[in-house]
Every structure is written in C-alpha cells, then in structure tokens.
C-alpha cells in the first residue's frame, strides 16, 4: 500500500452558510466546488470549497448548523488551518487585503500571517519550499501568484503529542519533523499535523471550529488502511461511502478526529467540472427527496456568479 498523500480535506462547522460563502469565496478566493446537504440534517448545507479543479489537498468543507453558538478549540481538536502561498509578497498582499476588508491579521516571528474568519476559525498563510503542485482557484481581485495554494498543515492541541507518535509513525507512515510536527508525504503531496500545548479552557465543538482532518489515500488501498488502523487498536468506523470518496474515521491518541479518504472518484462524479457547485448536489440516497429538500434550504448567493457571468 502506498503512503498517504497529505491532507485530503478539512471539515469545520459554520452557523451561517451565506456568510461562510461570502468569506471563503469572496474573501479567500476559493471556489465553491460542491453544494450539498448535511446528511444528518437535510434542511441545512454541507459546503465544499477548493481549487479550480476541486483536487484533494485544497478542500475545505463546512457543515451548517444555523445559529449554533461559537465553539473554541481545545485539547484534542484542530485549532488552525495552514495554507501555502507562493512568496513573501503573497503574504504582503493578504495582509493588505484582509485589513482592507476589515479583518485583523498578524505576522508571526516566522513571517507567516495569522487571521480568523468571521466566526473565529483560525488560518495561517505560510511560504514553504516544496515541489507539490499549487492548487489555486480564480478570483478577479486575487492575482494568481498570490492565491492560496492548498493545505500545508493543521495545528492541533495536545498535552501529550508523544502519545500520538506510535500511531502516526508506525501505522500511518508519518515522519517526525521535530517540535511536535509530523508529516504524511506521498508521491505527489505532503501535509502535516503540528501539536501545540492546549489552552486551559475546555474544548467546545461549536461554530468556527474544525470537526476533523482527512488524509488522502489511494483508492485501491482502502481495505489495507482499514485493516492497519484496526490492527493498531484504533476504534475505526466501518468504511463509509461519501459518494465523492470513501472514508474511515478514528480518533488518534491525542483525541483529534482523523479521516482517511480516497483520492477518487472526486467531485466531478455527479456534475461536470465547469458547473461544480452551481446546483444542489444530492447523493443517490437523497436524490428522490429533492422536491422535499430543496424548498427548505435558504438559497445561497455565490459571489463567483457575478464575475463569471461578467
Ligand atoms: Zn471528512
């Protein structure tokens, strides 16, 4: 079985789908690549953002729970999403752009840029020397050379990252980078998890928090990864068909919810690349309920529609 290909997607929680679209498409410049429903609550959205081609590696997803109070990241949770950008001048561009749009953003000692979305979910833009293909989307206000280029890492809170080391290294094939960081690197891409000491406050899963991080596996390795995780003693879910990929879920020893997701078949399985995210996508088990589901969803305005039509 081949090694994991870095981060596949990151799923988080929002209290307001429209404001979420306005931020991730309008401000950050990602493409809305799939507009679906929360399979457990079919009256609300599950939104997927990504690069122009909806590749694994740049896919940020949000479950909508309207009105859900804000959460806060704590022990056993992902606290921040790290994105690659192309150069220090891209950091300058984003600092100016975010400030201009009313968001605070601060430089770290290492030169990265940290900011939060409108409901407190933290992001960090980093310049890194890797040969991974940049995964970018198009936005009229964002020059291509400054666009986000896909995930680099997640930061998570753990008081005992060493507890996670055996599963990460021996079972999942991550490499220890030191300073509480481990990288999953395959033939095409790499992605990391970086553990920080947790805050004193108890974690609270609410809006503006990350629910899980998914790592990418080759489709043919699904069964082998499932057996490996079970044999390592992790309490893995059965294989779950997410229509766009197949997944298994388990908590790593620090408590962070991991998913392993197949690279295929991907978001073009039910609509052509040019039309991704325009209409409501329902998986086969919900398609026959479309007439009952769609009227209960609040229509979304996608900022991209205005500039694509010109
Ligand atoms: Zn997921």
The alpha carbon of 96 and the centre of ligand 1 are apart by a number of angstroms equal to 32
What is d(CA 24, CA 31) in angstroms, rounded to the nearest whole number? Answer: 8
For the segment 17-32, what is each residue's pLDDT rounded down to a tens digit?
999 999 999 999 999 9
pLDDT at residue 308 is higher than 80? no
At 38, the pLDDT band (50, 70, 90 cuts) reads confident
- 58 within a domain of the structure (yes/no): yes
At 58, the pLDDT band (50, 70, 90 cuts) reads very high
- Helix H or strand E segment including 91: helix 88-100
The alpha carbon of 222 and the centre of ligand 1 are apart by a number of angstroms equal to 15
- 181 within a domain of the structure (yes/no): yes
pLDDT at residue 235 is higher than 90? yes
The alpha carbon of 93 and the centre of ligand 1 are apart by a number of angstroms equal to 31
The alpha carbon of 293 and the centre of ligand 1 are apart by a number of angstroms equal to 22
- 160 within a domain of the structure (yes/no): yes
Domain range enclosing 160: 7-309
Find out whether the peptide bond into 262 is cis, omega within 30 degrees of 0: no
Which residues, at least 6 apart from 45, have a Cβ–Cβ distance to it below 8 Å? 17, 35, 36, 37, 38, 62, 63, 64, 297, 300
At 309, the pLDDT band (50, 70, 90 cuts) reads low
The CATH number of residue 60's host domain is: 3.10.180.10
- 1 within a domain of the structure (yes/no): no
Instruction: Name residue 258's beta-bridge partners.
Output: 213, 250
Looking at the 3D structure of the chain, how many domains does it have?
1
What is d(CA 278, CA 259) in angstroms, rounded to the nearest whole number? Answer: 27
- 170 within a domain of the structure (yes/no): yes
At 41, the pLDDT band (50, 70, 90 cuts) reads confident
Residues in the chain: 310
The alpha carbon of 180 and the centre of ligand 1 are apart by a number of angstroms equal to 24
Tell me the percentage of the chain whose pLDDT exceeds 90: 95
Which residues, at least 6 apart from 145, have a Cβ–Cβ distance to it below 8 Å? 86, 87, 89, 90
What is d(CA 79, CA 163) in angstroms, rounded to the nearest whole number? Answer: 19
What is d(CA 164, CA 158) in angstroms, rounded to the nearest whole number? Answer: 9
For the segment 135-149, what is each residue's pLDDT rounded down to a tens digit?
999 999 999 999 999
Q: What is the pTM for the complete model shown?
A: 0.98
- Helix H or strand E segment including 38: strand 31-38
Contact 199/193 with Cβ under 8 angstroms? no
Residue carrying the six token digits 């209290």 = 15
The alpha carbon of 241 and the centre of ligand 1 are apart by a number of angstroms equal to 11
- 129 within a domain of the structure (yes/no): yes
- 2 within a domain of the structure (yes/no): no
For the segment 240-294, what is each residue's pLDDT rounded down to a tens digit?
999 999 999 999 999 999 999 999 999 999 999 999 999 999 999 899 999 999 9
What is d(CA 254, CA 165) in angstroms, rounded to the nearest whole number? Answer: 10
For the segment 87-103, what is each residue's pLDDT rounded down to a tens digit?
999 999 999 999 999 99
Among the ranges given (165-169, 193-197, 239-243, 253-257), the one the predictor scored with the smallest mean pLDDT: 239-243
The alpha carbon of 7 and the centre of ligand 1 are apart by a number of angstroms equal to 11
The alpha carbon of 307 and the centre of ligand 1 are apart by a number of angstroms equal to 30
Question: Per-residue pLDDT averaged across 208-223, rounded?
Answer: 98
Strand order of the β-sheet with 7-14 is: 31-38, 41-50, 59-64, 7-14, 210-217, 257-265, 245-251, 240-241
Question: Per-residue pLDDT averaged across 184-206, rounded?
Answer: 97
The alpha carbon of 214 and the centre of ligand 1 are apart by a number of angstroms equal to 6
The alpha carbon of 47 and the centre of ligand 1 are apart by a number of angstroms equal to 12
The alpha carbon of 154 and the centre of ligand 1 are apart by a number of angstroms equal to 14
At 310, the pLDDT band (50, 70, 90 cuts) reads low
**DSSP state, 300?**
-
For the segment 42-51, what is each residue's pLDDT rounded down to a tens digit?
889 999 999 9
Check residue 146 and give its pLDDT. Answer: 98
Q: Taking the mean position of all CA atoms in its chain, how far away is CA 73?
A: 15
Check residue 39 and give its pLDDT. Answer: 81
Question: Per-residue pLDDT averaged across 206-229, rounded?
Answer: 98
- Give, rounded to a whole angstrom, the gap between the first and last alpha carbons of the chain: 47
Check residue 46 and give its pLDDT. Answer: 96
Check residue 69 and give its pLDDT. Answer: 97
Greatest Cα pair distance, the chain, in angstroms, is 54
The alpha carbon of 309 and the centre of ligand 1 are apart by a number of angstroms equal to 32
The alpha carbon of 10 and the centre of ligand 1 are apart by a number of angstroms equal to 6
What is d(CA 188, CA 58) in angstroms, rounded to the nearest whole number? Answer: 13
- 63 or 309, greater pLDDT: 63
Check residue 22 and give its pLDDT. Answer: 98
* Torsion of the alpha carbons at 59, 62, 63 and 64, rounded to the nearest 10: -150
What is d(CA 305, CA 216) in angstroms, rounded to the nearest whole number? Answer: 30
257-265/245-251 β-pairing = antiparallel
Check residue 153 and give its pLDDT. Answer: 98
The alpha carbon of 46 and the centre of ligand 1 are apart by a number of angstroms equal to 11
- 239 within a domain of the structure (yes/no): yes
Check residue 88 and give its pLDDT. Answer: 98
């Amino acid at each position: 079985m081949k090694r994991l290909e870095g981060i596949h997607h990151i799923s988080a929680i929002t209290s307001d789908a429209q404001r979420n679209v306005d931020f991730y498409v309008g401000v950050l410049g990602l493409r809305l690549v799939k507009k679906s429903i929360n399979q457990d609550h079919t009256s609300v959205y599950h939104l997927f953002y990504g690069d122009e081609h909806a590749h694994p590696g740049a896919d940020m997803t949000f479950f909508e729970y309207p009105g859900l109070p804000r959460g806060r990241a704590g022990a056993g949770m992902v606290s921040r999403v790290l994105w690659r950008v192309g150069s220090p001048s891209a950091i300058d561009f984003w600092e100016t752009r975010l400030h201009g749009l009313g968001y605070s953003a601060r430089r770290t000692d290492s030169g990265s840029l940290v900011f939060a979305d409108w409901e407190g979910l933290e992001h960090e833009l980093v310049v890194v020397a890797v040969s991974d293909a940049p995964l970018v989307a198009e936005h009229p206000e964002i020059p291509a050379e400054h666009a986000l280029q896909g995930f680099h890492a997640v930061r998570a809170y753990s008081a005992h990252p060493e507890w996670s080391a055996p599963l990460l290294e021996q079972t999942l094939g991550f490499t220890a980078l030191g300073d509480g960081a481990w990288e999953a690197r395959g033939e095409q891409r790499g992605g990391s998890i970086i553990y920080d000491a947790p805050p004193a406050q108890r974690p609270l899963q609410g809006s503006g928090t990350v629910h899980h991080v998914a790592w990418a596996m080759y489709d043919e390795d699904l069964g082998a990864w499932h057996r490996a995780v079970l044999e390592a003693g992790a309490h893995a879910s059965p294989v779950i068909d997410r229509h766009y990929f197949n997944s298994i879920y388990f908590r790593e020893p620090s408590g962070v919810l991991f998913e392993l997701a197949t690279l295929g078949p991907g978001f073009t399985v039910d609509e052509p690349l040019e039309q991704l995210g325009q209409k409501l996508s329902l998986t086969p088990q919900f398609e026959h309920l479309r007439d009952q589901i769609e009227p209960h969803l609040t229509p979304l305005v996608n900022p991209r529609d205005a500039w694509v039509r010109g």
